[in-house]
Structure 1
Amino acid sequence: MTPQVTAFFDEATNTISYVVRDPGSATCAVVDSVMDIDMAAGRITYDHADAMIAHIKAEGLTLEWIIETHVHADHLSAAPYIQQKLGGKIGIGEKILVVQDVFGKIFNEGTEFQRDGSQFDRLFADGDTYTIGGMQCFAMHTPGHTPACMTHVMGDAAFVGDTLFMPDGGSARADFPGGDAGTLYDSIQKVLALPDAMRLFMCHDYGPGGRDIQWETTVGAEKADNIHVGGGKTKEDFVKFRTERDAQLAMPRLILPSLQVNMRAGEVPRDKDGNQMLKLPVNRL
C-alpha cells in the first residue's frame, strides 16, 4: 500500500513534517509537527502547523494520528495545537518514561510533572500495530539517538525520525542522555532490514555540500550509499566515528525549550500562577 506523503519543511530548524494519507480513504496522520518559537521575544507562533492544518482541511481529510518519532531536542512539537484544531491521537514510543525521568531531574520538575507518559494518548512498544483508515502501520523501536526513538512504517513508507539522515548526511548524534552509538548502529540495521524498495522519510536535512534540501530516499539507497553505515561499514568503525564526531558538536540551539515542551507532548510548562514559563538550567547539560 502506497500512502500519499506531503512534506512541510521548516527552514528555521531544518525539520521536515509530514501529512500521510491512507490511499483508500480520506484519513491521515501527521508526523513530527513543528511549533515556532522566537527565543529572544519569548513568543510562540504556529505558522508551520497552520500550513499543515490548512492542507488537511483543503483535502477534506480526517486526522487520526499525530505521531512523534521521538522527543525532539531541536524543535518544539505542535501536537496539542493540531489536536485542538483537528482531533486525532498523539502517540510516541513507550520509552518516553525514561526521557521524562532523566529530564524531569535536569529541569528540577516537581511532583506535578507526571513521568508516566500520560500526556500522550498512545505509548508504542516495539512491534505495535495501528491503522490510519484502512492502512496497516507498525512501530519499530530504534533507540540510540534517544531511548524513545521509533521508526513508523505506514504502508511502503517509513518515517525514521533522527535514526538516519539522507545517504550523504549519514546519521544523527548519539551523545544525548540515554543515547548510545552502538545501539544506534543496531537500530539502523533494523531499518535497513526492511525491503530495499521501502521509502524512507527523514525528520531533518541540512543540505550537505550546499545541495537542495531532500527528505526521501529508500532502504536500498541507504544500504549502498550512506556515508556512515552504507557499503557494509562495521559497528566498530561506526562507533569510533560517531563517538569522535559527537564530541565536537555543540548542543542544538533549541534544546532547552524543546525538551521541556516535547516531554509534555507539546504543552508549554506553566508556573504556579498558570503563566507559560520555560526554565534555564545552568551547567546541567
Structure 2
Amino acid sequence: MEAAVTDTDPARDQAAEQVRKAAADATLRPTIAGFFDEATNTITYVVSDPATGEAAIIDSVLDFEAASGRTSNGSADRIIEYVKTNDLTVTWLIETHAHADHISAAPYLQERLGGKLAIGKDIIRVQEVFGKLFNAGTDFERDGSQFDHLFEDGESFAIGKLGGIALHVPGHTPADMAFIVGDAAFVGDTIFMPDFGTARADFPGGDAGELFRSIRRLLSLPDETRLFLCHDYKAPGRDDYAWETTVKQQREENVHVKDGVTEDQFVEMRTSRDRTLAMPTLIMPSVQVNIRGGRLPEPEDNGVSYIKIPVNAV
C-alpha cells in the first residue's frame, strides 16, 4: 500500500531521488554519530562527509539543572571531542525546531567549532507566539535574525560533497523541519520508534492533522530511507534506547501512524492522548532560550540572565 501523499510534491520527489542514489552508492552516504542525552531523552547527531570531513551538528543539548538554574557543557563537550578527534570541519549547526524539552548548545558549539546556525523559516511564527507569552518586549526581534540561515521547504544544501534537502514537516510545531542527507533523514519531533509512535501536537501552533500529513510525507520516501529520531523514551517492554529506523519499518509497524491509519483516526487518537500529557519539565527555559537561537535572555542590570515563568498562562 502506498502512503497517502499529494500528487505533486517536487521537494519530496527530489529527496526520494537523492535517497535512491545514495542507497546505491556508498560514497553518497554520510557518516553519522549519535549522542544520547538521557536527562532529556535527546539524540544529537554529527553528520559528516567521509570524503571532505565537512560536518553538520543536528539538535545539540546544553545541560541545564532546573533547580539551581545552572548550565553546563558536558554534552556539548562530547560533541567537540568527537569533531576534533575525527578532524572534522563543522559547516552547519542545524535545529530541527525550537525544542521544548532541552536547551540548544548551538552558540557554545559555534564559538568553538564554527558553522552556520540554521532552522526552518517558520521559526518566525514560533517567535511571535512565545514572544507574546513571555512578554519579551520590543527588543526581542521576531524575524529569525538570531539564526544565520532560515531554511525553506525544498531547499537544497550541502555537507561537503553530500547533497541535502530540507523538508517542512509542521504539526508538532509550525516550524518543524526534516533534513535529508544522502539516504538518511533527520526527522526531529515528528515520529519516534515504531513501538512508541509519534510526537505530540498540542503545543501552541501545533496541529494533529498537519502532523499526520507531515509524517505521511516522510513515509512516502523510499522504503530504504534511514530515519534518525530526535528522541527515544523506551516503549514499555523495550530495555534499550534506540533512535534509528527506516521508512519501511515505520509504515509497517508504527503504533500510531502505520499504513492503513486514516487522518481522522490519527487526529482522534493524538488529540485524546495529548490531553493526558504533562508539559515537558524544561519547556519554560527551553523555549525561551531556543527562540533566541540558544542564547540566554540579555542580562539585567545586575549582570544576571533570568528565565521567566508565566503563571496561570498555559
What TM-score comes out, normalization by structure 1 length?
A: 0.99
C-alpha distance in 2, partners of 1:200/1:259?
25
Structure 2 unaligned regions, length at least 5: 1-27
Alignment of 1:204-219 (within 5 A): 204-209=231-236, 210-219=238-247
Pick from 260, 267, 270 the counterpart of residue 242 of structure 1.
270
Matched letter for residue 275 of structure 1 = V
The C-alpha deviation readout for 1:193-232, integer Å capped at 9, x for no partner, is: 1111010000000011142000000011101110001032
Determine the structure 1 residue equivalent to 2:225. 198
Q: CA deviation at 1:276?
A: 1.6
Pick from 121, 136, 145 the counterpart of residue 118 of structure 1.
145
Determine the structure 2 residue equivalent to 1:279. 308
C-alpha RMSD of the superposition:
0.8
Determine the structure 2 residue equivalent to 1:68. 95
Q: CA deviation at 1:23?
A: 2.7
C-alpha distance in 2, partners of 1:284/1:93?
27
Q: CA deviation at 1:25?
A: 1.3
Determine the structure 2 residue equivalent to 1:48. 75
Determine the structure 2 residue equivalent to 1:59. 86
Matched letter for residue 279 of structure 1 = K
C-alpha distance in 2, partners of 1:23/1:54?
18
Q: CA deviation at 1:192?
A: 0.4
Instruction: Report the number of matched residues.
Output: 285
C-alpha distance in 1, partners of 2:182/2:201?
28
Matched letter for residue 168 of structure 1 = D
Contact 2:29 2:162 (8 Å CA) reproduced: no
C-alpha distance in 2, partners of 1:103/1:123?
18
Indicate yes or no: 2:268 matched with 1:257. Answer: no
Q: CA deviation at 1:41?
A: 1.3
C-alpha distance in 1, partners of 2:289/2:220?
33
Q: CA deviation at 1:42?
A: 1.4
Paired residue secondary structure (2:108): helix
Determine the structure 2 residue equivalent to 1:172. 199
C-alpha distance in 2, partners of 1:275/1:101?
25
Determine the structure 1 residue equivalent to 2:296. 268
Determine the structure 2 residue equivalent to 1:17. 44
Paired residue secondary structure (1:19): strand
Determine the structure 2 residue equivalent to 1:187. 214
Q: CA deviation at 1:284?
A: 1.3
Indicate yes or no: 2:257 matched with 1:229. Answer: yes
Q: CA deviation at 1:271?
A: 3.7
Pick from 144, 148, 158 the counterpart of residue 131 of structure 1.
158
Paired residue secondary structure (1:208): coil
Identity of aligned residues (%): 56
Indicate yes or no: 2:190 matched with 1:163. Answer: yes
Matched letter for residue 115 of structure 1 = R
